[in-house]
Copies of this chain bind each other. A is one copy, B any other.
Amino acid sequence: MKKLINDPADVVKEALLGIEAAHRDRVRVDHENRIVYRADAPVQGKVGLISGGGSGHEPMHGGFVGLGMLDAACAGEVFTSPVPDQMMAATKGVDGGAGVLHIVKNYTGDVMNFEMAAEMAAADAGTEVLSVVTDDDVAVQDSLYTAGRRGVGVTVLLEKIVGAAAEEGRPLAEVADLARRVNDHGRSMGMALTSCTVPSAGKPTFDLSETDMELGVGIHGEPGRQRLPVAPAKDVAALLVDPVLQDLPYGQGDSVIAFVNGMGGTPLIELYIMFHEVSQLLEKAGVTVARSLVGSYITSLEMAGCSVTLLKADDELVRLWDAPVNTPGLRWGV
């Protein structure tokens, strides 16, 4: 295992120290609870937005804290959901009197820990808490009898869009509805060229030969649905875009925010090549790219690979997407 780390047990702690050192102007860090807060949290009268999850997906979520996006992010161990104590502390810390929304990616651990936090917060009284779960990964079959689909790329877009709505002063119920609408209108699919290595495990989560790729991989190095021979970018794009387009479905005349995401070990030059292929496929399908995002925003440690997320976007979503945001990971308009 080759990584720029010290003791594998200290990875999350030290990354938070780094985030703090680099972005003091925008965030502050509660190291005991491993929470990244917006520097001016709680913002009075504004719905507080909290997310969190296992670490190893940077800049998500700590890098999305700031004006126009999250009020706090709870950092779990690498690929391990944070614990309810963190979410309760964060809920208190961002409560500006207008309630708090928990943004949860659909993983059993995340869902259960956030649930326990919400139950405890409710018992604690005071703060009104709503939750929204993202589950946009079409690689996983949706079913009532399973854990359902995973939350992946849409989470990034959702945190931005819903963050803008909260910044406008909208009430909690409306903010939560908007969050569900964003999730319902977005779909993703990912693939990996290499595995990632969880620091504490010390070896790659899965073995992938020099000639294979993993299609439908998760952001925790969960093996995907299918192992296929490596293919040109053009074919990889089709393998990702087609199931996404079919799932919602998106079609002729739709307008989308198109997001090509790097898994952590894939450089930008490859993501641009992928974006070109994706935009060609969308054009062929009659889908217009209203806005685009290209980069490594929801990563899986040093895994090489990418994911494609499409969010069907009406004028309101685009307007909220364009609204000012000032976080370590996404910034514009300010």
Contact = CB atoms under 8 A, between A and B. Distances in A.
A19 interface: yes
A4 B193 contact: yes
Given A230-B2, A232-B5, A266 B21 contact: no
Contacts of A318: none
Interface stretch (A104-112, A161-169, A245-253, A274-282): A274-282
| Chain A interface, DSSP helix/strand/loop, else mixed | mixed
A17 B265 CA distance: 22
Contacts of A275: 18, 21-22
A11 interface: yes
A292 to B, nearest CB: 5
A306 interface: yes
A180 to B, nearest CB: 28
Contact of A236 (B4, B279, B301, B306): B4
A246 to B, nearest CB: 22
Interface in A38-77: 55-56, 58-59, 63
A234 B6 contact: yes
Interface residues of A, number: 61
Contact of A193 (B2, B11, B55, B270): B2
A273 B5 contact: yes
Contacts of A5: 232-233, 270, 273
B270 A232 contact: no
A332 interface: yes
A122 interface: no
Contact of A302 (B2, B236, B265): B265
A299 B268 contact: yes
A303 B7 CA distance: 23
Nearest to A56: B269
Contacts of A14: 233, 272-273, 276
A268 B334 contact: no
Nearest to A60: B268
B272 A22 contact: yes
Contact of A233 (B4, B271, B305): B4
A32 interface: no
Interface string A230-265: 101110100000000000000000000000100011
Interface of A: 2-7, 11, 14-19, 21-23, 55-56, 58-59, 63, 193-194, 210, 213, 230, 232-234, 236, 260, 264-276, 279, 289, 292, 294, 296, 299, 301-302, 304-306, 326, 328, 331-334
